[in-house]
Structure 1
Amino acid sequence: MKRILYIILGCLLTSIGAVILQHGEVMTGGTAGLSLLLSYASDLPFGLVFFLVNVPFYVLSIIFMGWNFTVSTILSVTLLSVMTGLDKWLPAFEIPMSVGAVVGGVFIGFGLSIMFMNRASLGGSNIVALILQKKLGWNPGKLNFLFDFVVVLYGFYSIGVLNGALSVLSIMVTSSIISHFKQKIGASNQSAKEKEASPSVEGTVATS
C-alpha cells in the first residue's frame, strides 16, 4: 500500500511538472517530450498521445524488468495521462519560460525519482534507462539526459532556439535530481531482483 501511495505521489509531481512546462511552452525529453511534439502537431490531447507512444516499450519492460514493474508502469502512465488531462479544467494561465523550465524540471525530477525508487516508471526512455542500470550499472540520470537531449534537439526546429535552450536546462535539472538518487534507485532494483530470485532458491532447497 505504501508503495502505491508513493507511485501516485510520483505521478502527481510529474504531471504538475508536465503542465508547468506546457504552459511555459518548454519541452521535456523522452517519450513525454516526443508526445508533446506530436500533440502540438496533431492537436490530439497530450495524455492520449503519451499513452499510445509508450505501448511498444512495454514489451521491453516485460522481458527485462518483469511483470510487476511493467504493470506498475502501465498504471503510472495511465494515471499521468488522466492527471495531465485535468489541465483543461484549470483556468488559463501563462508561466515565464525560464521559470517554467526550472520549476517544471524540479517537479519532474523528484516525481520520476520517487517512481524509480518504488519500481515504476513512465515508460519509454525511463524503461531503457532502468534496464541499462540494472544490467550494466549505468547512471539512470545521465541516460535520461542523453535520451531527453536527443528529443529536445529535434524539437529545436519546431519550438525555436530560446525554447530549445530552456528545454535543455529543464532536462539538466531533471537528470541531476535523478542522479542524486541513483544509489537508492539501484538499491530498489537490486532488492526487487533478490525477491524475484528467492522463491526459486527456496524451491531448490526444498527439492534437495
Structure 2
Amino acid sequence: MQTTHRWLSIIEGCLLVALGVHLLQVSQLLISGTAGLGLVLIQVTNLSFGQLFFLLNLPFYILAWRTLGRAFTLRTFLSISLLSVLSELMARYVHLEIHPILASVLGGLLVGFGLILLFRHQASLGGMNILAVYLERRFNWHASTTLLIGDLGVLLLALLLLEPAQVIWSVLAFIALSSVVKRYHRPPAWAVPKPAAAG
C-alpha cells in the first residue's frame, strides 16, 4: 500500500510539473533548473523540450547514484522519463492560449507543487533538484536556496537569448516556484540535525 501511494504521488507530481512547464512553453517563458535550461535550449536546437530534458539529466544520475542511493536514483530516473513523455504528449495534444502573466504565475505554482510531491516521496526531476536534495541531506541546506541559485544561472543565459519581457515574466514563475517550495517543503527527518545531548 505504501509503495502504491508513493508512485501515485510521483505520477501526480509529474503531471503537475508537465502542465506547468507546458503553460510556460506555449508562452515562451522559463522555469528554474534543468527544465529552465531545456526551455532556453529549444530556442537554438531542433530537439523538443522532452528530448532535451531527458538528455540534460543524464550526467546527474552519477551524483544521485553515488550520494543519494540506488532507490532514489531509480525513482528520479523514472520521474524524469515520465515527465519527458508527458511533455511530449501535452505539446501534441494540449492546445491553449494564455496571457504570459497568468502563465508565469500558474506555471510556477504547478511546478512548485509538483516538486513538493516528488521531494516528499524521495524522488526528484534531476539536475538542480538532485543537487538540492543532496545539499539538504548532506548540509541541511534548504532546497529552495539551491533552486534559487539555479534560477539565477538560467536567467543569465536567458538574457542572451530571449526578449526582455519574456525574462521579466519568467522571473514571476521563478518567484512562484520558490515561494511554494519554501513554504510547503519540510525537510525529512534524516535532514534535520539532532539536538546535542545535555551535559
Runs of 4+ in structure 1 off by over 4 angstroms are 188-191
Of residues 141, 144, 158, the one that matches 1:141 is 144
| Structure with more of its chain in helix, by fraction | 1
- Distance, in Å, in 2 between the alignment partners of 1:92 and 1:112 is 24
2:100 equivalent to 1:97:
yes
2:20, 2:107 within 8 Å by CA — same for their partners in 1? yes
Alignment of 1:162-201 (within 5 A): 162-183=165-186, 186-187=187-188, 190=191
Alignment of 1:3-152 (within 5 A): 3-90=6-93, 92-152=95-155
2:24, 2:30 within 8 Å by CA — same for their partners in 1? yes
Give CA-to-partner distance per residue, 1:20-69, whole Å, 9 cap, x none. 00012111121111111222211211111100000000000011100000
- Distance, in Å, in 2 between the alignment partners of 1:153 and 1:65 is 29
Give CA-to-partner distance per residue, 1:92-111, whole Å, 9 cap, x none. 43221111100000000000
When structure 1 is superposed on structure 2, of 74-83 and 29-38 the one drifting more is 29-38
- Distance, in Å, in 1 between the alignment partners of 2:84 and 2:25 is 14
- Distance, in Å, in 2 between the alignment partners of 1:95 and 1:120 is 30
What does residue 156 of structure 1 align with?
159
Q: Which runs of 5+ in 2 are unaligned?
A: 193-199
- Aligned identity (percent) is 36
**TM-score normalized by the length of structure 1:** 0.87
- Distance, in Å, in 2 between the alignment partners of 1:189 and 1:64 is 14
2:140, 2:191 within 8 Å by CA — same for their partners in 1? no
1:136 deviates by 0.8
Aligned pair count? 189
When structure 1 is superposed on structure 2, of 156-165 and 11-20 the one drifting more is 156-165
**TM-score normalized by the length of structure 2:** 0.90
- Distance, in Å, in 1 between the alignment partners of 2:117 and 2:30 is 21
Q: Which runs of 5+ in 1 are unaligned?
A: 192-208
Question: Which amino acid counterpart does residue 36 of structure 2 have in structure 1?
Answer: G
Give CA-to-partner distance per residue, 1:121-169, whole Å, 9 cap, x none. 0000000111111111111012101112211221022111111111111
When structure 1 is superposed on structure 2, of 54-63 and 31-40 the one drifting more is 31-40
1:27, 1:33 within 8 Å by CA — same for their partners in 2? yes
